[in-house]
Amino acid sequence: MTRCKYLLFLVCVFVPVCVFAQDPWRIEAPISDRVPYYGVAVGNGQLGITSSARPLEVKEVVLAGVYDMYGRGRVGNFLPVFNFLNTEIKIDGQSPNLVDIKDYTQSLDMRHGRFHGHFFMPGKATVSYSYQTLYQLPCNALLEITVTPEKDVLLDCANKLTTPSSLNNGQLMWNQIPSLHGTISLLTSQAKSPSGKVTIATSTSFVFPQNDAPQLLHEIRDTNMHQARFSKHLKAGKPYTFYLVGSVISSVQYADPLNHAERLTIYACLQGVDKLLSQHTKAWDNLWQSDIVVEGNKQDQQDIHNMMYHLYSFCRAGMDTSPSPMGLSGLGYNGHVFWDTELWMYPAMLLLHPEMAESMIRYRYNRLQAAKKNAFTYGYKGAMYPWESAGTGVEETPVWALTGPFEHHITADVAIAAWQYYLMTQDKEWLKNIAWPILKETATFWVSRVEKNNQGQYTINNVVGADEWAENIDNDAFTNGAAIMNLRYAAKAAQVLGEKAPTSWTTIADNIYIGSMSNGVIREHDTYQGEMIKQADVNLLSYPLGIITDKKQQQRNLDYYKKKIPLKDTPAMTQAIYSLLYARLGDEKEAYHWFKDAYMSNIQPPFRVIAECKGGHNPYFITGAGGILQTVLMGFGGLQIDEAGALQVLQSSCPSQWSGLKIILNGEQVVAK
């Protein structure tokens, strides 16, 4: 999809975005109805929950991999699923609202993937709440609520399950399961996707202090909404804590989602809250065994942790899904998978957590047959990956966007990522079984895609460039460069495995045309005449492709194209590439400038979430965060995987605004500057 130019933009208003900006692990902010609010997500790679400004509400729940055709575009879209954590409380008949409550703060604990809220109802009580998507139970979440009354009060509480309007044939159920630890009361809903192909189910249960469970009432308000409700008298000054556990799952994940949702909720209840929280905390501790430590600049440290936190929240090992540009923060871009994954999120994750990066490639491998069919329908051989992919791997780009039929570099992006995983792990079995089929079929595609000109060179004509403002042009620099590396990596993989590679792979790779202008700068495409560009294209030949290694040429290209980026409408990863390359060229001042320029104007309050473009309003843009993390890891840190799979530390500049930089991978410090 052609991005940014279809978005509406807001005037950038600078407002306070956090109170404790110096904390490297926690962002805390005052909340009111007078300050713009952009929700922040907690996720475990399978389930994402985005916050709301309203007390004890969540804005959106996203379940990875759940698509159906509905809404605009006639393509598969992320489905809204049950918002199963929404809870309403009343104290002496009064509900909390943004106008009447005091001292309302929310905070994000990035260290352990938790969201917190805290407010005061004058003359009645203080209320604290927190929730997390449990990392060890990928379809479950846990909500904790503590009410501390100022005086004797009556607490009324209800967990509400409303069937989203996008779902059909809703069923509402109330089930009470006896156990040795007391009755487990399950509030359960199930519904069908618009086409009827997908079933989604959710189930929740309150968990109360031992021997202090109030009576629960089940109430059906209408055909699409029911709730579990209780009332309890609370004594002045005595805190009362209770919990809500819940699960949401679809037939994409499990053949019998209704029964399994209830099983998962029962399982969580009988695990006990202490064990649930302990296992969740341990899982996040393990994730942060790979960390980036910035010394001397606490705000930059917090921002980098924020980016890492979101990358960790939106990815997961062992899954048959891959993150979309907005991850699990919402339904942006229909939840589709673009080059954003392989070129922008993946390289950072490959260093930080290779086991999570592997899932991104396995997602593509599992859809290789669909890519082969796609190539066949366009008259090519091999495999042609779709520009926008969803559940099945067929092309999901809306027909009005030319990127679907023409943005072909995605095929090479997938292949390059597969080769990089082999380099990082040196796993020959994986190379043989997963990467080689991808590399072989994508190389075959490029052989059928190129055209030989009168000078004996190979051209790639009629494409949409990586700079998507360049439509239906010939010889896009990045597309041609990516095809070169796809062909070369396929030939190298064949050599490692003892396979016979067609000689055409090397012949074509060595003769694909990349043009230059009279000033020596690489020309973005054949008809490029100096116009403004949407995002990095030519500069990607230096990194990540490594085709242009001459530093003078890198400098020449950088100095030219950095002036071609407009002040808005360009995605965050463009400036990240400039920053990375300047850092490797030793220009610390330019590197830090572009590092900050990549995201500071994209930040939205109150949790410093990153929007796609400057002045944009569609967070959280994990693509941009992935690009900026590459700036830190591969630019300031100088990390690079060589052809033998060794992790090198190249000479590069670190910002003078930092007194130190440490990069820790799987508990081992690999960079200290």
Judged by DSSP in three states, 622 sits in helix
Q: Where are the beta strands (DSSP E) in 575-667?
A: 603-604, 609-610, 639-641, 647-649, 660-665
Identify the structural domains of the chain with CATH numbers, from first to last: 1-21+294-351+565-673 (no CATH), 31-287 (2.70.98.40), 367-550 (1.50.10.10)
Of 298, 339, 445, 338, the C-alpha closest to 384 is: 445
Residue 441, pLDDT > 50, answer yes
The whole-number pLDDT of residue 17 equals 43
The residue-averaged pLDDT of 441-467 equals 97
Answer left, alpha or beta for residue 645, where phi above 0 means left and psi between -120 and 50 means alpha: left
Residue-averaged pLDDT of the chain = 94
Which pLDDT score is estimated for 71?
Answer: 67
pLDDT of residue 625: 97
Q: Is residue 7 very low, low, confident or very high in pLDDT (cuts 50, 70, 90)?
A: very low
Q: How far apart are CA 126 and CA 150, in angstroms?
A: 8
Tell me the two tokens of residue 486.
């796809």
Instruction: Please provide the DSSP assignment of 100-122 as one string.
Output: T-EEEEEEEETTTTEEEEEEEET
C-alpha 654/C-alpha 637 separation (Å) is 7
- Asked if 609 and 622 touch (Cβ cutoff 8 Å), the reply is no
Contact partners, residue 6, CB within 8 Å, separation at least 6: none
Phi and psi (nearest 5°) for 121?
A: -100, 105
What proportion of the chain, given as a percentage, has pLDDT over 90? 90
Please state the rounded mean pLDDT for residues 366-371. 98
Rounded to the nearest 5 degrees, what angle is found at the Cα of 123, between the Cα atoms of 121 and 128?
Answer: 35
**Banded pLDDT at 14 (limits 50, 70, 90):** very low
* Catalytic site includes residue 524: no
Q: How far apart are the first and last CA of the chain?
A: 40
In the predicted structure, residue 15 carries a pLDDT above the cut 70: no
Tens of pLDDT, residues 306-319: 999 999 999 999 99
pLDDT digits (tens, 9 = 90+) for 524-576: 999 999 999 999 999 999 999 999 999 999 999 999 999 999 988 889 899 99
Three-state DSSP state, 45: coil
| Residue 644 pLDDT | 86
Nearest-angstrom CA–CA distance, 328 and 47: 7
- 376 has a pLDDT exceeding 60: yes
Paired residues of 149 in beta bridges: 125
Active-site residue (options: 468, 471, 588, 643) = 468
pLDDT of residue 21: 55
Q: Which residues pair with 129 in a beta bridge?
A: 117, 145
Q: Which of 122, 203, 110 is nearest to 159 (CA)?
A: 203
Parallel, antiparallel, or unpaired for β 87-91 and 76-78?
A: unpaired
Q: Render pLDDT for 142-151 as a digit per residue (tens, 0 to 9).
A: 999 999 999 9
Structure tokens belonging to residue 276: 């649930």
How much is the CA Rg of the chain, to the nearest whole Å?
26
Query: Is residue 612 annotated as a catalytic residue, yes or no?
Result: yes
Helix orientation angle between 409-425 and 436-449, rounded to the nearest 10 degrees: 150
Confidence of residue 585 (pLDDT cuts 50, 70, 90): very high
Mean pLDDT lowest for which of 64-73, 386-395, 441-450, 507-516?
Answer: 64-73
Mean per-residue pLDDT, 98-111: 96
Least Cα distance to 608 among 26, 8, 208 occurs for 26
DSSP 431: I
CB 149 within 8 A of CB 235: yes
Of residues 619 and 362, the one with the higher pLDDT is 362
Helices (H), 378-476: 403-406, 409-425, 428-430, 436-449
Q: What is the pLDDT of residues 163-212, one digit of tens each?
A: 999 899 999 999 999 887 788 999 999 999 999 999 999 999 999 998 78
Q: Which pTM does this prediction carry?
A: 0.95
Which residues make beta-bridge pairs with 610?
603
Contacts of 20 (CB under 8 A, 6+ apart): 26, 27, 28
Residue 428 main-chain phi, psi, to 5 deg: -70, -30
Helix (H, G, I), strand (E, B) or coil at 534: coil
Task: Return the C-alpha torsion angle 209, 215, 216, 220, nearest 10.
Answer: -160
**Cβ–Cβ contacts within 10 Å for residue 198, how many?**
20
Which of the 8 DSSP states describes residue 564?
G
Instruction: Grade residue 61 by pLDDT with cuts at 50, 70 and 90.
Output: very high
For the ranges 40-44, 406-410, 542-546, 570-574, which has the lowest average pLDDT? 570-574
**Tens digits of residue pLDDT in 233-279:** 999 999 999 999 999 999 999 999 999 999 999 999 999 999 999 99
